[in-house]
Amino acid sequence: MSTRKASKAKRTATRKLLPKHLSMTKAEHARFDLINKIHPSNWTPQESYEFYLLLGKHYLGAAYRKSKRTADNKKFRRDQGYYALDKAARIRAKYKLKPISV
């Protein structure tokens, strides 16, 4: 196998490390930016729930993406992602919101 083919196979294999559900779509990025422009004190419970779901997904995607980050930085992002998802679950339970999939 040539060096070029080997490096392409390696890149493809590392891309598969990131689960599909952790990579944010353009629509999710747009929704995240839209909610982020509103001050948190003015959020509705639904917006708060969506924001923390998307934030958790963003952090988890950054933690598992192959990059030049250190192991400590990846662990920090993973922990922050799980914290944001837990907070979203608490908000959903408190206000009895319907679960959404992002």
Say if pTM beats, i.e. exceeds, 0.85.
no
Place of tokens 């980050």: 69
Band of pLDDT at residue 48, cut at 50, 70 and 90: very high
* Across 54-81, average pLDDT: 88
Count of C-beta atoms within a 10 Å radius of residue 68? 5
CA-CA distance, 50 to 75, in Å (whole number)?
23
pLDDT digits (tens, 9 = 90+) for 6-21: 555 554 444 444 456 6
DSSP annotation string for 20-35: GGGSPPHHHHHHHHHH
The rounded mean pLDDT for the chain is 83
